[in-house]
Amino acid sequence: MVAMKSSKIMKMSVLIILILLLTAGCVERVDNIYGSSGLGASPITPWSDQKILPQIDGSAYVHPQASVIGAVSIGKNVMVSPMASIRGDEGMPIHIGDDSNVQDGVVIHALETADEEQKPVENNLVEVAGKKYAVYVGNRVSLAHQSQVHGPARIGNDTFVGMQAFVFKSKVGNNVVLEPGVRIVGVTIPDGRYVPLGSIVSNQSMADHLPVITDDYVFKNLNKGVIHVNTNLAAGYNSLSGKASTSSGHGE
């Protein structure tokens, strides 16, 4: 009888220890996912002799499961969602303007902007207000789920880039709508135009003849609502994490 009781006690003790170990492991894994930061410096390479950290305004929110690396500047009230990747380690710098959002799974990267003698590769840069960038995303821009912007590229103010859209070696104007799944390569999209669902625009003649956004266009005001939601999400997540909404150098 005593032996049976001892055996039961031993089994219960082992079970309790296993539960404690599993719980500790789960807590550790959760903490690794939600308590760590995806921010990092760019490495020293033949084209860059500096480790460059992102510059993130204190009112922006970068989810711990997002990745922001290197020469990246992120403006006020920006929301960077889980699994987004903004990587300023090859083409640099990358700029994300105020009140914009970088949604789940978005990729922003660029071709090299300096050679191995660290001289500028001018063809891989875009100029905005006298400054040069690998990728420039303006103010109040929405980059929807899984879209890609690969520099050299410029996205103008108040523009919506739809789900799984792709922009490469292009300049997209102000107040533009890129509907989901479009491909924009090597062109300039004029202000106030929209690119229909799934279109491929790869020559300037096509870009110049894109339809104009009119009052009856179904997505005319879509971006305003997306901006409203995401700027409030940025503020809400900052509040949830106890982060003060103030400007800072490195942020997060």
The set of residues, in sequence order, having a beta carbon less than 8 Å from that of 98 and lying 6+ positions away, is: 57, 75, 76, 77, 78, 139, 140
Phi/psi of residue 198, nearest 5 degrees = 75, 5
- Of the candidates 28, 112, 116, 252, the residue annotated as catalytic is 112
CA angle in degrees (0–180, nearest 5) for 166-198-221: 85
Q: Which of the following is catalytic: 28, 90, 127, 252?
A: 90
Q: How far apart are CA 60 and CA 37, in angstroms?
A: 14
Complete DSSP assignment for 166-207:
EEEEEEE-TT-EE-TT-EEES-EEPTTBEE-TT-EE-SHHHH
117 is catalytic: no
Q: Is 28 a catalytic residue?
A: no
Contact between 250 and 56 (Cβ < 8 Å): yes
Residues with a catalytic annotation lie at 90, 112
